[in-house]
Structure 1
């Protein structure tokens, strides 16, 4: 049983896909975090970088976009592809570009100059120069026929990709759709000509498109939506059920709980085993642990069983968390090569259900499985969470003991001063670390130390005031005697 649950009420739009009452995908659409992938912009080249074979382009967004030489139409259409990027583009040049990957971290969006305009059966590339057929079309004769049709239909510099639905379309229908897509592109170029500065030409409704794509893949199931107007829009193609309960639709179907779980660092598996996820800007590391799982067979069988459970859940979590880039998985050590191959085969099988392009590299000499997953937008944690202002995302802060030693060193810089006392503001834990040594410290300083304490997440200290003992002691909330 497949279920698509759509939460359309409110500014944040969401949908969840469940298979057998198990959450397999969760998508968020927020105005401030809306994906730019597929959007078309009219941009200006701000910097040419021959050493990187790339340029930066102002597209009117917060961050400049990055464009590699190989994604320039002038490079793709050149008869001889020689020279670096400066041979094909110059600073100040105006370009029509399409976002291929959203901005992440400090990096701006990645764009391409090879525009793709999607139709029902075709993807039209005005400067693509090649014909391709969807990999989901298995029949080689059908593929060859579509390639011949495409080469007859397009001009030399145009490109076409035949989508899966093209196998049911007639040649006349394909030509009619191509004509419509050409007109759409001409409208984009006309709009670009009217712009005086970089800006948006075409904005893709990615949320609706993702829902439609998911609905197309559902062989049998139910679509439930909490907004009547959106239900009417979807019902033009798909039967829907309207949810009018008072409780949020995600809460009613236990999805909010699953979202909270997908944000946690530790993910528990059946039988007491667990996974640990550590996400960095460059890569994601996943550690597999047996935990309380002891198994009923020998140790190696227990390890294999745990790793098999982990492999299935890891692929699911990659989808739920939308983790991309380099992924390193530290499975429990397997001594048998057949066990490693079993895990690889299972991974390949599970990843075949993933819409994102993935590549399994294999096990390293240390037994760590390497894979890459295409990253087009921010992960779930990046979209829903902010870095901790205390630890700056590291998960660690300086200990009370470390701060106490730092305070002691700074106080020693003021020894033999003319003041009789100092007032220090710090945390209770730092104060307690100094308590056993305060008398000796004051003898070294030749002045008294008084404290006020606060309760804050991060340990710190502040030398608030130097002065006479009577004045400082009156200002101290608590003192060491």
Structure 2
């Protein structure tokens, strides 16, 4: 039986959240108190530059750096416009005012990525005011329940708007889902009113802080406990749940510990996740080499020598590696292209089983992830949606001496 808990620390001028499964940290979220959350925030911006060479535009939304708007994220001015055949110059022009929502945080020297396809998340549904489409969470697998939810949302959504049914909506009554959609529609109408009287660039809607987002997005019936180290945050959580899901209030606990992350072994796992090498229980290990848009993971047998033969040793190492890699992707919050170099296996059934295990573990990830399969060189290629900076990008700073390479210029003393 999988026991899932959420641990929240709101001390040391930051909010830190850890998702635990059977007391093992799986995901970590960190948000300093002085930082505002950009992802999900909605701005009224002004198009500064239109660049047909990259089919994108840069939008001034009032931040330090202009936001990046790709052509596929632009809403056509006319419903009759064929966006698939339109270039960025056909859709936008400098000086044009647009409503955009931040889809990705600023990363490195890049500004935030934005979209004109706004979505407003609630506890059970996500309202899409600009898209006429109904979607159901892929984690809801029962076909009869999917059909029920689809019919409920079709009836409850505002005309011309779309909605996505979240996993938390499974088994929820129709009137509760309708109330959730009505609240989101009201929020959208309020944003439109602000936009009508606001000068560009300006902020129209700011996404809530980390604690309310975690309660809204992560704290569902599948979570056994929500544990906080601050009574103020504990009381705030109960207040939020009054409107989100009062039935979950009995699962909220306050534990006055000096360092709740230390008490639940989260700090130790964070420190391990910041290392290049991660050891497997069998004695093998993983090597993570992270670039801006690409991460390479190498699997090694290490100290594990096995008891049968080489193929069995390799197979068992790869199986354990597949499970741990899926966890590390979530814990380290790695995104972009992921290349995994499993140890070569002779038997096809072994290769298929390792891929199957990797796929089963990836399904537990809330972030959209696609396994592309084996390359011709025997490497496993997958992509994971990148929204926020990785754990290393949040907590580590490049060395000013080596620039992040881990190497410095010097002469070897052992020249022949």
TM-score (norm 1): 0.77
Equivalent of 2:129, from 104, 126, 129? Answer: 126
1:50-65 residue pairs with structure 2 within 5 A? Answer: 50-65=52-67
1:216 aligns with 2:220: yes
- CA pair 78-395 structure 1, distance change in 2 beyond 3 A: farther
Match of 1:92 in 2: 95
**Unpaired stretches in structure 2, ≥5 consecutive residues:** 242-247
Helix, strand or coil at the partner of 1:345: helix
Q: Determine if contact 2:123/2:216 at 8 Å carries over to the other structure.
A: no
Q: Determine if contact 1:65/1:111 at 8 Å carries over to the other structure.
A: yes
Offset of 1:174 from its aligned partner? 4.9
1:95-244 residue pairs with structure 2 within 5 A? Answer: 95-144=98-147, 146-148=149-151, 150-151=153-154, 153-154=156-157, 157-164=160-167, 166=169, 168=171, 174-208=177-211, 209-216=213-220, 218-220=222-224, 222-235=225-238, 236=241, 237-238=248-249, 239-244=251-256
Q: Determine if contact 2:287/2:299 at 8 Å carries over to the other structure.
A: yes
Structure 1: distance between partners of 2:283 and 2:144: 51
More moved, 337-346 vs 229-238: 229-238
Equivalent of 1:276, from 287, 292, 298? Answer: 287
Deviation digits for residues 198-255 of structure 1 (CA, Å, limit 9, x no counterpart): 12221112512224433315353x332110011112234433332223x322123332
Equivalent of 1:49, from 48, 51, 72? Answer: 51
1:47-446 residue pairs with structure 2 within 5 A? Answer: 47-74=49-76, 77-81=79-83, 82-144=85-147, 146-148=149-151, 150-151=153-154, 153-154=156-157, 157-164=160-167, 166=169, 168=171, 174-208=177-211, 209-216=213-220, 218-220=222-224, 222-235=225-238, 236=241, 237-238=248-249, 239-245=251-257, 247-400=258-411
Deviation digits for residues 367-421 of structure 1 (CA, Å, limit 9, x no counterpart): 21111111101000000011110110111111235xxxxxxxxxxxxxxxxxxxx
Helix, strand or coil at the partner of 1:250: helix
Match of 2:22 in 1: 20
Structure 1: distance between partners of 2:318 and 2:308: 15
Q: Determine if contact 1:35/1:377 at 8 Å carries over to the other structure.
A: no
Deviation digits for residues 138-190 of structure 1 (CA, Å, limit 9, x no counterpart): 34455445545545555664222233455656655555544433332122122
Q: Determine if contact 2:287/2:297 at 8 Å carries over to the other structure.
A: yes
The structure showing larger relative contact order (alpha-carbon pairs under 8 Å, at least 6 residues apart) is: 2
RMSD value, Cα = 2.5
Q: Determine if contact 1:285/1:329 at 8 Å carries over to the other structure.
A: yes
Deviation digits for residues 80-113 of structure 1 (CA, Å, limit 9, x no counterpart): 3332122122111111111111121222211111
Q: Determine if contact 2:100/2:118 at 8 Å carries over to the other structure.
A: yes
Q: Determine if contact 1:70/1:76 at 8 Å carries over to the other structure.
A: no
Match of 2:245 in 1: none
Q: Determine if contact 1:33/1:383 at 8 Å carries over to the other structure.
A: no
Structure 1: distance between partners of 2:78 and 2:123: 26
Structure 1: distance between partners of 2:22 and 2:53: 51
Structure 2: distance between partners of 1:108 and 1:158: 29
User: Which protein is bigger by CA-based radius of gyration?
Assistant: 1
More moved, 111-120 vs 229-238: 229-238
Structure 1: distance between partners of 2:309 and 2:223: 41
